[in-house]
């Protein structure tokens, strides 16, 4: 990653938000969720995003995850202005570079953990054998070996979140975006998930952007970005944890 | 890609078995109804067509009275005589035979069996005009016809009622107060297009019936057979002109007899059944369309119900056209399964119904293929709108949906 920083003088950063605003609705009911966000994230970083409820964290994450586009301003992913891309091109960005973990898990019901994890690979057109192997590997990485054939209803909250993480990393994405991944879990389960994310960042070099409102969880990150009222209020680099 | 999408669609169908089954049922009923109606209609048409050929070729029926139907009035009209037969034979060209017909319903007896049937008095021309074939025995001799001998030829139904399984030729039957010798047996023809049993008959020489049963010289009807290749309408015109002359009908008077072309009747009947088939098929097609609307309804419900699922698919990188294709294939697979089952149900149903209604079962590849392809097309047409709606969903909106 340090090597990347040297070359980074000329190469564009992995993620760059330039004066991004997002307005929901129009006219009198218009609501400005983001009011000019600037943010640069480099390859390999682990960034925690904090802030009060309604400060625009999820809105920013959706834009970073290419699920949504800024109203004004620019989001450059590896130098490419995402807002200029078509719906399908953004879908391809999600498919090939991004893994998204939602607070509400968002697994397909009545579908086994294995099939859930295979889903992104299905759209990448990989063979059944390759899909199976990769999904089994991802499930093993999150510690769900033996639960492959259980449906979400048969899994605990922590296990569902692990399955969701497995689905996000099964494609070996460049970036893992996690919106309050531990929000629905007790402290113990939360720590396990955090250990998992830290390991993915450290061992696989996956860039992580994670929203959380728990300082305990944010402490795992290299950097803590504070959102207040649709703006970045502070951006603090943490000393490397021992 | 296509294979994967098909797999996805099948997985979805399996996940919602009850809903899928109900959708399939709608299409199944539509397809089965269309095929069954058309198949039975074709069977009825085929039965009528078979009737046309069994009626004998180029046959004209000349009767006293004004026209065919319930209001036919024979009371005032003079009956024909044997002389009319002779006149037509000698003065109208291009005929192969002219048969006089007198018929009476009588009870006939053989040993302990008796049976009420119609006795036809005619000549040997009757057998050729009606395309009758002999199963056993012979026609009348000239002498038998001249002297009005008590001999008769039996139809198959009459034979079985009187003789059971025996051969009747050579035996005698009793009709009223005279005894009649059986000299021949006709090959069975079956039901006529009007549902009358044509084999329920006894044929005797004309003179025999006139002397012993009707007691006068009248001839009820003439069966005129036109030579192959000759025009029946021309023969009809000539017969009409001749009969007007013989019956002294003035130019301003209507005919007091009528000439019927049996082929015309048969063709009219068969075109009626064809129209009926078309009508029934159309009604059934409407039910197929209703099945299609059912598919659209269920797919729309399923899009709403599965909004979050679609959001998840889009979020992990599904393209718009992949979601569209998935829903479209789901609709087509459902409707095709319905179509396939419909074809099976229709086959079994039409075979059974054909037996029940006593019409032949005529398998038509084209209607089966057409109904099946139509059901698949319905899947595309009615699946497209819901599928497009699914594909155009905004991923974030979809994910927030609950
Ligand atoms: N789809 C939407 N339509 C309208 N308003 C929205 C929508 N999404 C978010 N908002 C509003 O935008 C603001 C920021 O929301 P969000 O980004 O979810 O905040 P956070 O995740 O930090 O709690 C909130 O006031 C929220 O009500
Ligand atoms: Mg939020």
Give the model's pLDDT for residue B267: 75
Pocket, ligand 1, Cβ cutoff 6 A: A 24-25, 31, 33, 51, 53-59
Range B163-177 average pLDDT:
90
Helix axes B17-54, B2-15, angle to 10 degrees: 100
CATH number at residue A136: 3.40.50.300
Q: Which residues of B touch A (CB under 8 A)?
A: 1, 4, 8, 11, 15, 308-309, 311-322, 395-396, 399
Q: Establish if A71 belongs to a structural domain.
A: yes
What is the DSSP-derived secondary structure letter of residue B5? H
Q: For residues A54 and B325, give the distance between their C-alpha atoms in angstroms, rounded to a whole number.
A: 37
Structure tokens at B204: 């005797």
Residue of chain A whose alpha carbon sits nearest to that of B399: A106
Of the ranges A10-19, A162-171, B286-295, which one carries the lowest mean pLDDT score?
Answer: B286-295
Whether residue B315 and residue A94 make contact (CB cut-off 8 A), yes or no, is yes
Q: Give φ, ψ of B179 to 5 degrees.
A: -105, 140
Whether A92 and chain B come into contact, CB under 8 Å, resolves to yes
Q: Which atom of ligand 1 is nearest to the CA of A25?
A: 4
Q: Is A121 a member of any domain?
A: yes
B328-367 pLDDT, tens per residue? 898 889 889 999 999 999 999 999 999 988 888 988 898 8
Taking an 8 Å cut-off on Cβ atoms, the answer to whether A95 and B317 are in contact is: yes
Give CA–CA dist B91/B258, Å, rounded: 18
**Contact at 8 Å (CB) between A97 and A65?**
no
User: Atom 20, ligand 1: which residue's CA is nearest?
Assistant: A54
Looking at residue B56, its pLDDT comes to 61
Using the Cβ of A87 and the Cβ atoms of chain B, whether some distance falls under 8 Å is answered with: yes
Residue appearing with tokens 């009809």:
B236
Q: Check pLDDT > 90 for residue B375.
A: no
pLDDT tens column, B284-321: 888 888 878 887 888 788 788 888 889 999 999 999 99
Beta strands in chain A (DSSP E): 15-24, 31-41, 46-50, 72-77, 80-81, 98-101, 175-179, 207-211, 223-228, 231-237
Domain count of the fold of chain A: 1
- Closest partner residue to A125 among B4, B314, B321, by Cβ? B4
pLDDT over 70 (residue B45): yes
Instruction: Indicate whether A24 belongs to any domain.
Output: yes
Confirm whether A127 is domain-assigned: yes
Which residue in chain B has the smallest CA separation from A167?
B316
For every residue of A182-213, which 3-state class applies, written as one string?
CCCCCHHHHHHHHHHHHHHHHHHCCEEEEECC
A229 occurs within a structural domain? yes
Is residue A1 pLDDT above 70, yes or no?
A: no
Percent of chain B scoring above 90 in pLDDT:
38
Q: What is the dihedral of CA B137, B143, B144, B146, to 10 degrees?
A: 150
The pLDDT tens digits for B68-96 are: 554 555 566 788 998 999 999 999 888 88
Closest by Cβ to B318, choosing from A91, A108, A109: A91
> What's the gap in Å between the CA of A186 and the closest CA on chain B?
24
A215 within domain boundaries? yes
Ligand 1 center from residue A53 Cα (angstroms): 9
Pairwise CB contact (< 8 Å): A100 & B316: yes
pLDDT at B265 over 90: no
Q: Which of A3-17, A184-198, B118-132, B359-373 has the lowest mean pLDDT?
A: A3-17
pLDDT-derived band at B54, boundaries 50, 70, 90: low
Residue range B117-139: mean pLDDT, rounded:
91
Q: Using an 8 Å Cβ cutoff, are B198 and B141 in contact? A: no
The atom of ligand 1 lying closest to the CA of A34 is: 14
Task: Please enumerate in sequence order all residues whose Cβ is within 8 A of that of A93, keeping only pairs 6 or more positions apart, or say none.
Answer: A66, A77, A82, A85
Q: Which residue is closest in CA terms to ligand 1's atom 11?
A: A33
**Chosen from A122, A163, A179 to mutate, greatest number of chain B CBs within 10 A:** A122
Strand segments, DSSP code E, in B123-177 are 134-137, 151-154, 172-175
Give CA–CA dist B381/B341, Å, rounded. Answer: 20
pLDDT for residue A239 is more than 70: yes
Per-residue pLDDT averaged across B142-153, rounded? 93
Q: Ligand 1: which residue has its CA nearest to atom 21? A: A58
CB atoms < 10 A from the CB of B170, how many?
A: 10
| A24 at B interface, C-beta within 8 A | no
Per-residue pLDDT, averaged over A2-8, amounts to 45
pTM: 0.70
Whether A242 maps to a domain, the answer reads: no
**Which of A26, A27, A52, A58 has the most ligand 1 atoms within 8 A of CB, as the residue to mutate?**
A58
Give the residue-averaged pLDDT of A88-115.
92
Quote the ligand 2 centre to B301 CA distance (angstroms): 29
pLDDT at B250: 85
Domain containing A16 equals 3-237
């Amino acid at each position: 990653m340090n090597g990347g920083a040297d070359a980074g003088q000329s190469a564009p950063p992995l993620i760059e938000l330039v004066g991004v605003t997002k307005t929901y609705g129009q006219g009198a009911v218009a609501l400005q969720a983001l009011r000019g966000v600037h943010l640069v994230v480099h390859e390999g970083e682990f960034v925690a995003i904090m802030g009060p409820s309604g400060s625009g964290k999820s809105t920013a994450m959706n834009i970073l995850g290419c699920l949504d586009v800024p109203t004004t301003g620019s989001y450059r992913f590896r130098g490419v202005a995402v807002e200029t891309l078509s719906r399908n091109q953004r879908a391809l960005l999600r498919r090939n570079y991004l893994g998204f973990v939602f607070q509400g898990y968002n697994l397909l019901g009545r579908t086994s953990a294995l099939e859930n994890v295979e889903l992104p690979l299905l759209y990448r057109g990989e063979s059944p054998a390759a899909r199976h192997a990769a999904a089994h590997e991802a499930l093993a990485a999150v510690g769900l070996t033996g639960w492959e054939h259980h449906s979400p209803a048969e899994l605990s909250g922590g296990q569902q979140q692990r399955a969701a993480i497995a689905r996000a990393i099964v494609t070996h994405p460049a970036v893992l975006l996690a919106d309050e991944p531990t929000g629905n879990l007790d402290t113990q389960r939360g720590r396990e998930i955090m250990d998992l994310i830290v390991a993915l960042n450290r061992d696989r070099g996956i860039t992580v952007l994670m929203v959380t409102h728990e300082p305990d969880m944010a402490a795992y990150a290299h950097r803590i970005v504070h959102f207040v009222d649709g703006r970045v209020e502070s951006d603090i680099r943490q000393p490397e944890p021992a | 890609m296509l294979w994967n999408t098909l797999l996805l669609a099948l997985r979805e169908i399996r996940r919602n078995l009850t809903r899928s089954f109900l959708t399939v049922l709608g299409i199944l009923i539509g397809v089965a109804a269309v095929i069954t109606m058309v198949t039975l209609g074709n069977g009825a048409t085929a039965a009528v067509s078979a009737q046309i050929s069994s009626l004998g070729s180029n046959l004209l029926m000349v009767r006293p009275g004004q026209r065919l139907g319930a209001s036919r009035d024979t009371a005032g009209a003079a009956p024909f005589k044997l002389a009319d037969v002779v006149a037509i034979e000698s003065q109208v060209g291009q005929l192969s035979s002219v048969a006089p017909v007198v018929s009476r319903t009588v009870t006939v007896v053989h040993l302990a069996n008796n049976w009420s049937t119609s006795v036809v008095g005619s000549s040997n021309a009757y057998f050729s005009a009606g395309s009758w074939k002999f199963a056993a025995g012979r026609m009348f001799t000239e002498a038998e016809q001249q002297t009005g001998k008590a001999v008769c030829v039996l139809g198959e139904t009459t034979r079985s009622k009187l003789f059971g399984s025996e051969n009747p030729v050579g035996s005698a039957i009793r009709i009223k107060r005279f005894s009649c010798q059986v000299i021949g047996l006709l090959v069975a023809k079956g039901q006529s297009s009007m549902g009358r049993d044509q084999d329920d008959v006894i044929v005797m020489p004309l003179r025999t019936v006139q002397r012993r049963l009707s007691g006068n010289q009248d001839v009820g009807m003439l069966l005129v057979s036109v030579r192959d290749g000759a025009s029946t309408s021309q023969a009809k015109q000539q017969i009409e002109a001749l009969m007007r002359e013989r019956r002294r009908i003035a130019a301003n008077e209507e005919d007091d007899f009528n000439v019927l072309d049996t082929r015309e009747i048969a063709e009219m009947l068969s075109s009626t059944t064809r129209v009926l088939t078309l009508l029934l098929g159309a009604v059934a097609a409407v039910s197929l369309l209703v099945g299609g609307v059912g598919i659209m309804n269920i797919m729309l419900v399923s899009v709403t119900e599965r909004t979050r699922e679609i959001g998840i698919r889009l979020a992990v990188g599904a393209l718009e056209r992949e979601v569209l294709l998935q829903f479209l294939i789901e609709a087509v697979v459902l409707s095709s399964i319905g179509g396939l089952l419909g074809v099976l149900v229709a086959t079994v149903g039409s075979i059974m119904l054909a037996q029940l209604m006593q019409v032949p079962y005529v398998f038509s590849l084209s209607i089966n293929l057409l109904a099946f392809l139509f059901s698949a097309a319905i899947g595309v047409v009615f699946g497209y709108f819901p599928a497009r709606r699914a594909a155009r969903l905004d991923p974030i909106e979809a994910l927030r949906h609950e």
